[in-house]
Amino acid sequence: MSLERVTLRPVAEDDLTIMERFLTEPRTAEPFQWFGWWDTRRWRRQWAETGLITEEAGHLLVVRDDERLGFVAWRTVVSSRTTHY
């Protein structure tokens, strides 16, 4: 039995091409019922400014060894004046 190790890591500049496939290639995005954004350069601009990680939101790449499997994203949602999740 082989153990596969899946990890999360910050997005590198050359990972942006993989992420952009989810915006531009219907076959890649179809299983997730995602139809893309109109601004396909958004992640590149954000990566140049913040590396795609801020206190309010971020993206991490999902990898197994050297294989890039996808990415995860999060954002802060304010639920009241004093709390967020």
- Domains annotated on the chain, with CATH: 6-75 (3.40.630.30)
> For residue 2, what pLDDT is reported?
60
Give the tens place of pLDDT for each residue, 6-62.
999 999 999 999 888 877 777 777 776 666 666 878 899 999 999 999 999 999 999
Q: How far is CA 80 from CA 33, 36, 74, 85, in A?
A: 31, 31, 18, 10
Q: What is the pLDDT of residue 35?
A: 61
Higher pLDDT, 36 or 79: 79
Which of 75, 71, 74, 76 lies closest to 9 in space, CA to CA? 71
For helices 16-24 and 42-50, the axis angle rounded to 10 degrees is 150
H-helix segments, the chain: 16-24, 26-29, 42-50
Q: What is the pTM of this model?
A: 0.79
